[in-house]
Every structure is written in structure tokens, then in C-alpha cells.
Amino acid sequence: MKSLFILLTFLISNILIAQTTQKVLGKHNDKDVSLFTLKNKSGHVLKLTNYGARIVRIDVPDKNGKIDNITTGSETLETIVKGDAFGGATVGRFANRIANGKFTLDGTEYSLPINNNPNTLHGGPAGWYAQVWDSKMSTKKNKQSVTFTYLSPDMEAGFPGTVNVSVTYTWTNKNEIIIDYLATTDKKTVFNITNHAYFNLNGTGKGFIQDHLLTINASNYTPVDKTSIPTGEIKSVKNTPFDFTTPHTIGERIGSMFEDVAFRGYDHNYVLDANAKIAATAYSPQSGRVMEVITDEPGLQFYSGNSRSWNQFKETGTMPENSRSSFALETQHFPDSPNQASFPSTVLTPNKPYKSRTVYRFSVKKD
């Protein structure tokens, strides 16, 4: 009897620890916006919302076992909608920039709304990050997941084809966020999708990210013009501030001279080495937290938070003022690919669905 009681207690405690819950925050555009809380067996938490199919909180321990949130985000409807447009969100129909808001497909030129003058960024001013997605919770083999789905109609934001897209977030007992993307179209179109989470491995409101050690397994990058559009070249990172093939702190070379001007920070696409099992690793010596990025995408956009302040966003949900309080590592195809014939194709066709996986894995490195 005693052993049965112990077994029941164990099972109940596991059910209470590993769970997914949903809370309706209110309505936006006549659709319910919900907050989803995924808790794994260690009690660590991932929070999501169907507004923009986005990550809003990641609670993981530091080297001393103290749990902190390490991403930007909000848990109230007003600050989710009025806060940072891209933070934590699924961005599409085309992540990153398209030059001058134009591209040509099969001889037809398409014009897109401009929201990053003179370019289109992350699908324009009403991209997928600003839409309320449908959602479904699931628990399989003790893995907590939420799937968000969205139907993007033909010519939404100027893009051809009706696209059905789904994004499934799975929160594992190993503190991994597994992001599975799936998309189909009824007409040839261009497609690029990513998650735009910002991270500070020191914890929310605990300083800046210049001290983070970063490794990116990319021997090459795509240089950009003054509007952050790729020139079409693929250049070696060797002897440049872009070389993270060995660990460097994010802030180490910001402010140094490069190509006769002061280097102002990172917002660049890296061409990932094909044989690399891990695309990138970030490590905070202060907290001991480690984040690994695993992906089957060819590119990684590294943004060093050149115009972001963590504290203001945390308190008010408004746009940031100061720089480098968080960073982004966005797995995707290359910017402006529809206009760059030498880049990997971003054309999506009816006979070949798009399928991709990215993993953010969190762990601790002790002194």
C-alpha cells in the first residue's frame, strides 16, 4: 500500500510539473489572443502567444540554479500588441529584407509595402508577426507543444499564392525549443520564415550582451550596402569583425575600424558551413548559461541589438532607446534572395511543401 501511494504521488507530481495551459488575454481584430504556458518536468517554462505565433518568455536556470527569463516579451494583451513588433515572433511571408520592395517571378514584377525605407522588412507593416494565428495544444511522449497555423491569402502584402503555414513549438525536458515549420502554396511564390526572438543570457534586465561569447560556424557572410541589402557577394569572414569561427565576445570588435570606418555592430547574414552540426553557440560567463542553435537553414542573421534597450521594454512594452541589451540569431534563407540569382532559392511551389526545423537548446556551463 505504501509503495502504491509513493507511485501515485510520483505520477501526480509529474503531471503537475509537465503541463501546458492556455489563458485568453482578450481580443484583437475580433480574435482571441491567448497566452500558452509550457512547463517541463524540471519546472522550466516557455511561454507563447498566438499573436504573431511568438515566444514571450523563457525561464531557465543559471550556473547557481537561479531561474530567470532570458528573452524579451510581454504577457498582457496591450503590451504584446503595442510592444516590439518583431520580438519573439514568427516573421513572414518573407523574413528579412527585399530591396526596394520589389521582386520578379516568372517575368511578373511584384510590389510590396515599404516599412524599412527603401526596403520591405519581414513581410511589410502588417506581416505575420502582426496577425492572430489559430492554435492547438498537444502532449505526446511527455513533450509539450503548441501548433500555430495561419492562412495567408493570395496577394497578401503583395505576395502571390495562397500559403498555408504552421509553426509548432515543442518544449522538451532538456530545455530545448524545437521549432518546426511547414508551408504549402497553391501558386508559385517566394517564402522565407524565421523566429525573431531576442536573448540576454544574463537574464531580463541584467545588463548588456557585449560580454557574451559567440561562436558561429560560418566561414563566409554576405556583405551589405548602406540600406542593409546584400551586394550579391559571398565573402570570407577571415580577418574581419565577422569572424566568429572561434569564440569572441559580441562587443569585442564593435567600434573598431573596418573598411576605413568605425564598425557599428552586427545585422548581417552568415552563410552557415554545411558540415556544422551546431550553427551557433552563445555563452554568458556571468550567468553560465549556454544557448546552442541547430538548424537545416542555410543562413543565420546575427543582430547585436544595435538599437535595443531591455529595461524599457520590460517595464512598459514600448520601443527601446539604448543599444545592445539583447541579440538575435535568426535561422533563415539569405536576405533579398528573390533578387539575387546566386543565393539559395526561396521559391515555394505547389508540388514541394516547405519543411524546416530550428532548435534553441539551453544548458549551463559551471566554472
* Catalytic positions, written as ranges: 196, 330
Dist CA 287 CA 280 (whole Å) = 18
Distance of CA 61 to the CA centre of its chain: 21
For the chain, first and last CA: distance in Å? 45
**Grid coordinates belonging to 39:** 512547463
Dist CA 331 CA 301 (whole Å) = 6
Number of C-beta neighbours around residue 359 at 10 A: 19
List the beta bridge partners of residue 119.
Answer: 116
Dist CA 337 CA 228 (whole Å) = 13
**Grid coordinates belonging to 6:** 509513493
